[in-house]
Amino acid sequence: MRSYKPPAPLTAAVLSVLAGAALLAPVSLGAASSAAAQAAPPAGTGPIVKLWSWNWNSVARECTDVLGPAGYGAVQVSPPHDSMSKGGSVWWDIYQPARYTLTSKFGDEDAFKRMIKACHDAGLEVHADAVINHMTGQGSTSYGGYGFSKYDYPGTYSSWDFRNSPACVIDDADYRNDGWRVQNCELSGLADLNTGSEYVRNQIAGWLNRLTALGVDGFRVDAAKHIHPDDLAAIKSKLTGSPYLHLEVIHGDGEKVQPGQYTGIGDVHEFVFGRKLKEQFTGQIHWLETFGQSWGLSVPGDKAVTFVDNHDTERKESWKNDATLTYKYGDTYKLANVFMLAWPYGTPRVYSGFTWSDKEAGPPSSGGGFVTDADCGSGRWTCFHRQMTGMVGFHNAVAGTSVGNWYDNGNNVIAFSRGNKGWVAINNEGGSVTRTFTTGLPAGTYANVAGSGSVTVGSDGTASVTVPAKSAVAVHVGGGPTPTPTPTPSPTVDPGRIATSFNANVTTSWGQNVFVVGDAAELGGWNPAKAVALSSADYPVWKATVNLPAGRSISYKYIKKNPDGSVTWESDPDRSFTTPSSGTATRTDTWR
Ligand code: LM2
Ligand code: CA
């Protein structure tokens, strides 16, 4: 379990989140206060989101605009060290450290510091990927323009700091036969650090302590299984503060090195979790009623970081038992993530990377391979974490409760409640299902945070609910119907003015509202403070009608106002059209 850390200092931004959520919560619900309480959980309580291969600027923006308002507890970022450079052609060069400086393809030290500040201000911890088992296996220049060769990293390591006399390379049979080789030979030919040496331990701890000094709160330890637990414990003992550690120890049946050997050092990545969810969600999810450690999971829930997939498993579907669902599975993937965030086991980690067809391909980058800003409208990034914002709120709202009111149809529809705080139904079938469910919730109307629409629970705790094919319905106390801002009053007909209806299909998370802003004075003259509020009555289509001058060319964009008062703009270019000389106009748009 993630240890509780002192929450990020309660800044003005955090305070305004609380105030904003309280103002927006519908008065009819009676549960508004818990919505407010949940808007800014203390750092360390919410799920982890792994924004893999995102550059520092983009992570910073996402913390402010999306992750903080949603209630994510921590963001795991890519390795920040200076790595071997393949110039943007592949993603994996970042797992070959060249030296311990913040000159990576994701940005420089200043950008890294700005990211930490933005994420802390938004209430999140920052976890860095720590690649400490090895250095490079190939190459001679880094992203920071540093020259090196395998076993020789001037200023950091020399030949005698490696296990290379002679070097051996781990082969597949070693995992079951020879734990010594797993930890002392080279993983994929990567120069294996002699983590038994005091000098090497000090170098590694020095690097991690520099990151901690910059504000990093935790580390994902890459290839932890390839570092002897005694060596890892010795490195841990040299760390300043008490960073949260989660260790990549891939579980394989019958292997010499087992996850349980590491739970005394940190939490462990639960690789069996994602394999089992793939089996169930491509099979019969009713079996999940008993899902837990007895299913062969490798560590207990309070020691596990769980995930549907990660950057390795999404590329190795049929490789060494690591078959998992990936974003390419569409709704099935989404439902498995809904289950992960709803089911009480481990600390869930939502994975969000970039889209790919060549499994070697690197993320979108500029000339030298430096990663360009993540743009969720471009189709190049999955931005899957944005689809889970409502479920993050669910996860936080039901913390500490247990599963009850289990329902399944003997096939691929399940439902359960979490105490009297939340209830979820998952339909993994091709047709919709309508029935009366026992939710265990207090009477009221709740927004479906896993999709759209709402659920009305009667005084007996039951609700008649339709769960559409391949989708989920999740409701929780504190999650009211999507808040409706007071819409701008409908304009009356005005000669020379064109009543223009804006219809924007926009998915929002709890507390966000949508506005239209543009160059016309009636659209606020591009000033977000003067933008026109859209009504969510027909969510996900947000609507408003505005009187605009006739026969004029108009530029505009939609914006989201977040609970903390920040603004999220649509991506470029501006939208434009020309109003007719008479009659009315309609704009039908989808957020981009
Ligand atoms: C990890 N966890 O333990 C990372 O999650 C995983 O992504 C890393 O492998 C691995 N350990 C090492 O940190 C990736 C990638 C490999 C790639 C390595 C190093 O999956 O394919 O290996 O990063 O960049 C590449 C070549 C490989 C070559 C090696 C050394 O693909 O053919 O081996 O570099 O030159 C001769
Ligand atoms: Ca090793």
DSSP letters, 260-294, are GGTTTTSEEE-HHHHHHHHHHHTS-GGGGGG-SGG
Beta bridge partners of 589: 504
Distance CA 341, CA 346 (A): 10
Choosing from 52, 83, 95 the residue with most ligand 1 atoms within 8 A of its CB, the one to mutate for a pocket test is 95
- Among all bound ligands, the one having the nearest atom to the CA of 200 is 2
- CA 95 – ligand 1 centroid, Å: 6
Domain boundary (413, 444, 476) is at 476
Same domain? For 472 and 523 the reply is: no
Choosing from 135, 149, 188, 190 the residue with most ligand 1 atoms within 8 A of its CB, the one to mutate for a pocket test is 188
Same domain? For 459 and 377 the reply is: no
Instruction: Per residue of the chain (592 residues), give pLDDT as tens.
Output: 554 343 333 333 333 333 333 323 222 222 223 333 333 333 347 999 999 999 999 999 999 999 999 999 999 999 999 999 999 999 999 999 999 999 999 999 999 999 999 999 999 999 999 999 999 999 999 999 999 999 999 999 999 999 999 999 999 999 999 999 999 999 999 999 999 999 999 999 999 999 999 999 999 999 999 999 999 999 999 999 999 999 999 999 999 999 999 999 999 999 999 999 999 999 999 999 999 999 999 999 999 999 999 999 999 855 445 689 999 999 999 999 999 999 999 999 999 999 999 999 999 999 899 999 999 999 999 999 999 999 999 999 999 999 999 999 999 999 999 999 999 999 999 999 999 999 999 999 999 999 999 999 999 999 999 999 999 999 999 987 644 334 444 544 556 888 999 999 999 887 788 999 999 989 998 888 889 999 888 889 999 999 998 888 999 999 998 877 788 999 999 999 999 988 899 999 999 9
Domain count, the chain: 3
CA-nearest residue, atom 21 of ligand 1: 92
Ligand 1 atom at shortest distance from the alpha carbon of 226: 3
- CA 217 – ligand 1 centroid, Å: 26
CA-nearest residue, atom 3 of ligand 1: 223
CA-nearest residue, atom 11 of ligand 1: 223
CA-nearest residue, atom 15 of ligand 1: 92
Same domain? For 259 and 110 the reply is: yes
- CA 92 – ligand 1 centroid, Å: 6
Same domain? For 452 and 313 the reply is: no
Same domain? For 361 and 292 the reply is: yes
Domain boundary (356, 382, 398) is at 398
Same domain? For 388 and 511 the reply is: no
Specify the DSSP class assigned to residue 124.
-
Ligand 1 atom at shortest distance from the alpha carbon of 223: 3
pLDDT digits (tens, 9 = 90+) for 54-96: 999 999 999 999 999 999 999 999 999 999 999 999 999 999 9
- Among all bound ligands, the one having the nearest atom to the CA of 79 is 1
Same domain? For 425 and 329 the reply is: no
- Among all bound ligands, the one having the nearest atom to the CA of 229 is 2
Ligand 1 atom at shortest distance from the alpha carbon of 131: 13
Boundaries of domain holding 524: 497-590
Query: Which amino acid type is present at position 354?
Result: F
Q: H or E stretch including 413?
A: strand 413-418
Beta bridge partners of 456: 445
Ligand 1 atom at shortest distance from the alpha carbon of 188: 33
Ligand 1 atom at shortest distance from the alpha carbon of 93: 24
Helix axes 271-281, 331-342, angle to 10 degrees: 130
Residues 409, 410, 412: CA angle, nearest 5 degrees: 75
Ligand 1 atom at shortest distance from the alpha carbon of 84: 24
The answer to whether position 524 is within a domain reads yes
CA-nearest residue, atom 22 of ligand 1: 188
The answer to whether position 13 is within a domain reads no
CA-nearest residue, atom 2 of ligand 1: 223
In this prediction, residue 317 carries a pLDDT of 58
- CA 250 – ligand 2 centroid, Å: 14
Same domain? For 193 and 319 the reply is: yes
- CA 94 – ligand 1 centroid, Å: 9
- CA 133 – ligand 1 centroid, Å: 12
Query: Which domain CATH number covers 430?
Result: 2.60.40.1180
Q: Which residues surround ligand 2, an ion (CB under 5 A)?
A: 133, 183, 192, 226
- CA 127 – ligand 1 centroid, Å: 21
What dihedral do alpha carbons 275, 278, 283, 287 form, nearest 10°?
60
- CA 161 – ligand 2 centroid, Å: 12
Query: Which amino acid type is present at position 377?
Result: G
Please identify which residue in the block is written with the tokens 């609700």. 463
- Among all bound ligands, the one having the nearest atom to the CA of 196 is 2
pLDDT digits (tens, 9 = 90+) for 183-226: 999 999 999 999 999 999 999 999 999 999 999 999 999 999 99
CA-nearest residue, atom 23 of ligand 1: 92
CA-nearest residue, atom 8 of ligand 1: 95
CB 314 within 8 A of CB 270: no
Ligand 1 atom at shortest distance from the alpha carbon of 224: 3
In this prediction, residue 323 carries a pLDDT of 83
CA-nearest residue, atom 28 of ligand 1: 188
In this prediction, residue 30 carries a pLDDT of 27
Domain boundary (381, 398, 415) is at 398
Same domain? For 576 and 505 the reply is: yes
Percentages of the chain per state (helix, strand, coil), in multiples of 5? 30, 25, 45
The answer to whether position 488 is within a domain reads no
Query: Which domain CATH number covers 576?
Result: 2.60.40.10
- CA 292 – ligand 1 centroid, Å: 31
Q: What are phi and psi of 176, to 5 degrees?
A: -95, -20
The answer to whether position 482 is within a domain reads no
Q: Which two tokens stand for residue 197?
A: 């040496």
- Among all bound ligands, the one having the nearest atom to the CA of 169 is 1
Same domain? For 318 and 178 the reply is: yes
The answer to whether position 520 is within a domain reads yes
Same domain? For 388 and 464 the reply is: no
Query: Which domain CATH number covers 120?
Result: 3.20.20.80
The answer to whether position 255 is within a domain reads yes
Choosing from 92, 170, 172 the residue with most ligand 1 atoms within 8 A of its CB, the one to mutate for a pocket test is 92
- CA 184 – ligand 2 centroid, Å: 5
The answer to whether position 26 is within a domain reads no
Helix axes 198-214, 229-236, angle to 10 degrees: 50
Which amino acids are annotated catalytic? 222, 248
Instruction: Please give all residues whose beta carbon lies within 6 A of any atom in ligand 1, as ranges.
Output: 92-93, 95-96, 131, 137-138, 187-190, 222-223, 248, 312
Write down the pTM of the prediction. Answer: 0.78
- Among all bound ligands, the one having the nearest atom to the CA of 184 is 2
CA-nearest residue, atom 29 of ligand 1: 188
The answer to whether position 3 is within a domain reads no
Which segments within 59-141 are labelled E, that is strand?
74-77, 82-83, 97-99, 125-130
Same domain? For 354 and 234 the reply is: yes
Q: H or E stretch including 465?
A: strand 462-467
